[in-house]
Amino acid sequence: MLSVLAELPLALGPRWLDPDFLIKTFGLAGILAIVFVESGLLVGFFLPGDALLFTAGLLSSTGKLPALEILLVTIPIAAIAGDQVGYMIGRKSGPAVFNKPDGRLFRRAHVDKTREYFEHYGPRTVLIARFVPIMRTFVPVMAGVGQMRYRTFVTYNVLGGIGWGIGVTTLGYYLGRVDFVRANIELIIVGVVLLSWIPIVIELTRARRRVRAAPAQLPADQRAS
């Protein structure tokens, strides 16, 4: 059973997305480039950020990558810089795209809703998204489209980038010294990825409860109408 689960990461995608393969092939420069692209460019949503950081920490503990201190400085910088680029892409090009005549995909109303959302939930969304695959790729761009206040975005981008870059990498470094983890690294990586989805599941559950509770909070005459 464990052997089947251990092959899961490679079964879910091509070998060039395997974190161990990426690190052995491109080294620290490759790690930083992947973190930057996944964080800031829309094309990077499929890249294995969490698994990559965890594996980088593990390989640092075995001496196959630079010292942990170097990773804990360079990885957050790459993550923060990537988000900054994503925000600027959304800020500069998003409104221009959505201001085109309404069509099936592009509507001005979508921009208005995005702006309203980031006015209310922007800081929390930027912070949580950093720890959730796919979301950390798209949220910075949408924050730019929604014209989230730049200073607020930068603050929570920095907090999220530091927390994610240091937290996941350090976890891999220290767990990598455990024999069981080394023997079942692929399985552990799958667990890390699944755990990273917990925040968004919790947030979606809360949002659904708020939507269900909203009608009950309206006055009786409004509910009837």
| Residue 124 falls inside a structural domain | yes
Q: What mean pLDDT is predicted for residues 192-218?
A: 66
- For residues 192 and 168, is the Cβ–Cβ distance under 8 A? yes
- pLDDT recorded at residue 196: 64
Check: pTM over 0.85? Answer yes or no.
no
> With pLDDT > 70 as the criterion, what percentage of the chain qualifies?
69
**H or E segment to which residue 72 belongs:** helix 68-98
- For residues 133 and 52, is the Cβ–Cβ distance under 8 A? no
What is the distance, to the nearest Å, from the Cα of residue 35 to the centroid of all Cα atoms in its chain?
10
| Residue 183 falls inside a structural domain | yes
Query: Which of 85-94, 99-108, 120-129 shows the lowest per-residue confidence on average (mean pLDDT)?
Result: 99-108
| Residue 182 falls inside a structural domain | yes
- Number of domains the chain contains: 1
Token pair for 144: 């730019």
Which residues, 6 or more positions from 224, have their beta carbon under 8 angstroms from its beta carbon? none
| Residue 218 falls inside a structural domain | no
| Residue 221 falls inside a structural domain | no
| Residue 84 falls inside a structural domain | yes
| Residue 217 falls inside a structural domain | no
Alpha-carbon distance of 198 to 203, in angstroms, equals 9
Q: What residue numbers bound the domain in which 79 lies?
A: 2-212
| Residue 169 falls inside a structural domain | yes
pLDDT digits (tens, 9 = 90+) for 118-164: 777 788 889 888 888 788 888 998 899 888 899 999 999 999 999 99
What is the distance, to the nearest Å, from the Cα of residue 64 to the centroid of all Cα atoms in its chain?
26
